[in-house]
Amino acid sequence: MAAHELTAEIRTEKGTRPMRRLRATGKIPAVLYSGGKEATAISVESRVMNKILHSGSHVVVLKLGGQDKQALIKDVQFDA
C-alpha cells in the first residue's frame, strides 16, 4: 500500500488567536519531531489530514520545504 502524501508549511505564530485564524483557512496546527532535533511547528490541510486518519494509515510522505520525508502519525487530539 502506498503512503499518503501530506503537504505542510512551517508556521511561526503561536497562541490561540493565530490558531483560530489558521483553522478558519482550512488548515490545522501540527508539530514535527525529528530524531533529537528541535520540534518544528507546521500546519497541514484539514481535509487531507482527516482523509488520511479515516483510512487508518499512520505513515505519510510529508512534503515540507521542497523535500519529501516519511513521517509517522503518533498522536492526534480532536478536542483539547
Mean pLDDT of 23-46: 93
The C-alpha cell of 55 is what? Answer: 483510512
pLDDT on residue 57: 85
CB 55 within 8 A of CB 43: no
Provide the CB-side half-sphere exposure for 75 (13 A, CA): 8
pLDDT tier, 2 (very low <50, low <70, confident <90, very high otherwise): low
Report the share of the chain in percent with pLDDT over 90. Answer: 69
**Considering the chain, what is the average pLDDT of its residues?**
90
Q: Which residues contact 68 (CB under 8 A, 6 or more apart)?
A: 61, 62
pLDDT on residue 49: 92
pLDDT on residue 34: 86
Question: What does residue 69 show for φ and ψ, rounded to 5 degrees?
Answer: -130, 145
